[in-house]
Structure 1
Amino acid sequence: MLLPLSLVVALSVDRLWGEPPAWAHPVVAMGRYLGWFKLTRLPPALAFTAGALAWLVGAAGVAFVALWLAGWVLIGLQPATSWPRLLGAALLTGLLLKPLLAWRMLSDEALAVEVALQQSLDAGRARLSRLVSRDTSALTETEVREAAIETLAENLNDSVIAPLFWFAVFGLPGAAVYRFANTADAMWGYRDEREWSGKWAARADDLLSWLPARVTALLLWPPSLRALPREARRTPSPNSGWPMAAMALRLGRRLSKPGVYTLHAEGTAARPGDLQAACGVAQQAVVAGTVLMAGLAWALRSAS
């Protein structure tokens, strides 16, 4: 019961208090480590090798720290497990898991885009630029809403469901390594001068996100499972298109990135109120995902 209870604690802490300060945030520390490396001027083969080694060293370090912390929690359960000890261990594990997921921050940032749009289009564009890497300066009001809904759906997987999935499978080290992989992809995985040094990071994130992204899409409960794979494949990413397409189908809205893809082209344009609706749908997916991952954690431990 330790892992299922820890999931509930982590989501509860996230809802009540949000993110820890930067100095205590493990994902911030991961970003600092990744920021040390400037590998872009190396020849492709050397850049790929150096990037892979830097990733492996970082992932191993993250896994070791998480395993060490999890080990101390388990020591606290010995010599005999009782409900007070179990609840204490679940509280501590949940507190350690919390910084590895970020639902409250994600939903708050998405809703803030709509609030900014009510002030002006420029304010909406500026707020959106905090969430996406694309240039927002020429986006229309509809495109700003579309991009905010897309990033909400995509990061629902990256920041919530996928960490919960890997926590259910491998405990705290699983969630920590996934967040490291996702952070490395966000910092290194671009098709520019960083392409070869970040190629390992991009492929590792693709692999670790493959199943959770599809689970996230199903948790969003799209009305047409037949249309979901077709729409998901319209994006260049092997994974991000799944939750985005599911959200587009669920809301009945057209979501697009100009010049790159259009999801659910038959849907209507995004309009005021859609970001609130998208957050409501995502909240339902978080609840369902927590129940699902708690059951998965319990089943895996019971079977072993």
Structure 2
Amino acid sequence: MRRNRAEAAGLAIGAVADAAFGDPRRGHPVALFGSAVARLERRVYADARPAGAVFAGGWIAVAVAVGALARRTGPAGTAAATFTALGGTSLCRIGDDIAGALESGDVDRARRLVSGLVGRDPDLLDESGICRAAVESIAENTSDAAIAPLLWGAVAGAPGLLGYRAVNTLDAMIGYRSDRYRNFGWAAARIDDAANLAPARMTAVAAALVSGRPVTVWRAVRRDAGAHPSPNAGVVETAFAAALGIELGGRTVYPHGVEDRPRLGDGRAPLASDLRAAVVLSRRIQRLSAVVAVAVRLAVGRQLR
């Protein structure tokens, strides 16, 4: 019980720290982790699923072990793990910066900023395309960078926080359908899909509640989400589209090819004002989820007792 109270306190402290400061510009532990992953990949890469599975599993095990060590240090360790795993505040700041650039007519700056959120070619995006890309990324990353870490932290403490962050980082690095990673990154992508099944749906529920449009969001998710190639991105993107009264999806150009994404939601194409609204929605969802995560961690402790 004492450990669970300590971890609940650490979750709360870490969430408040992320809300106040966002990601550090230099020396972020996730960036250091990514650099280590990239260096090892260059040495051990093989175009085979088993090799990729061992690679992903090994790094996830390392992250879980580091989380277990952090948990032994008390609330400070869990707070550090929470701050490391969360990225919602920086996500929202970038969203606001993109909207501000578009509102001032600086499309080139908006393209540069959105390139840090999505893997699309920013030079091919007009103002509407930039808004759509940014809203879709904010929707997906509200789940990936905020709700999912909080959920795994609520369930498994610091090991869950850092283990999940490793899963998501590996997916972002090698979980592509490109020629290089179709086999090597297969396991990383599938593990990430499994780890985000519950968080994505919790994000959709939170979007429905926070927006005050539960029936509209529920109907849109049931109708549109299953057509998306991702079992999780489709859920959260549809929920945000319905909550904001806009339409997402459509032709999407990636470095590895062009994908015709399904249309999600009903309404017009997003504008800069909708991007602002998406940021507000994301922030509200994050705050609600942080409170719920702390409460769940305390409840887990009472149940174990």
Match in the other structure for 1:72: 73
Task: Supply the AA of the counterpart residue of 2:89.
Answer: R
Residue matched to 1:267: 267
1:179 positional shift: 0.5
Aligned-pair Cα RMSD in Å? 1.8
Q: Is the 8 A contact 1:26 1:100 kept in 2?
A: no
- 1:8-39 Cα shifts (integer Å, max 9, x gaps): 2112111222223533x221122112202038
Q: 2:232 aligns with which of 239, 250, 253?
A: 239
**What residue in structure 1 maps to residue 192 of structure 2?**
205
C-alpha contact (below 8 Å) 1:231/1:245 kept by paired residues? yes
Q: Distance in 2 between matches of 1:143 and 1:234?
A: 20
1:41: how far off?
7.1
- C-alpha contact 2:56 2:188 (8 A) present in aligned 1: yes
Question: Is contact 1:228-1:242 (8 Å) kept?
Answer: yes
2: CA distance, partners of 1:13 / 1:275: 24
Q: CA deviation at 1:204?
A: 0.4
Amino acid at match of 2:283: Q
Partner of residue 122, structure 1? 108
Q: CA deviation at 1:147?
A: 1.0
- The reply to whether residue 183 of structure 1 matches residue 169 of structure 2 is yes
What amino acid does structure 2 have at the position aligned with 1:98? F
2:249 aligned with 1:256, yes or no? yes
Q: Which residue matches 1:228?
A: 221
State how far apart, in whole Å, the 2-side matches of 1:109 and 1:97 are.
20
Code of the residue aligned with 2:80 in structure 1: it is L
Deviation at 1:92, TM superposition (A): 4.7
**After the TM superposition, which residues 1-304 of structure 1 pair with which residues of structure 2 at under 5 Å, given as runs?**
1-20=5-24, 22-23=26-27, 25-36=28-39, 37-38=41-42, 42-43=46-47, 47-73=48-74, 89=75, 91-117=76-102, 118-192=104-178, 193-221=180-208, 222-223=213-214, 224=216, 225-258=218-251, 259-264=260-265, 266-304=266-304
* SS of residue paired to 2:249: strand
Matched pairs, number: 283
User: In the alignment, is the contact (CA less than 8 A) between 2:81 and 2:162 conserved in 1?
Assistant: no
Larger-Rg structure: 1
Distance 1:134 1:21, change over 3 A: closer
Deviations 1:71-130 (A, max 9, x none): 132xxxxxxxxxxxxxxx3x5531332011012110011111112222332322222111
Report the CA distance between 1:206 and its aligned residue. 0.4
Deviations 1:207-228 (A, max 9, x none): 1011111001111115321321
How far 1:138 sits from its partner (Å)?
A: 1.8
The range that moved more, 5-14 or 173-182, is: 5-14
What is the deviation of 1:40?
9.5
Distance 2:222 2:164 in 1: 24
The amino acid that maps onto 1:172 is: A
Q: Is the 8 A contact 2:7 2:71 kept in 1?
A: no
Q: Residue type of the partner of 1:294?
A: V
CA shift, 1:55, in A, is: 1.2
Q: What SS does the corresponding residue of 2:18 show, helix, strand or coil?
A: helix
Letter in 2 for 1:209: N
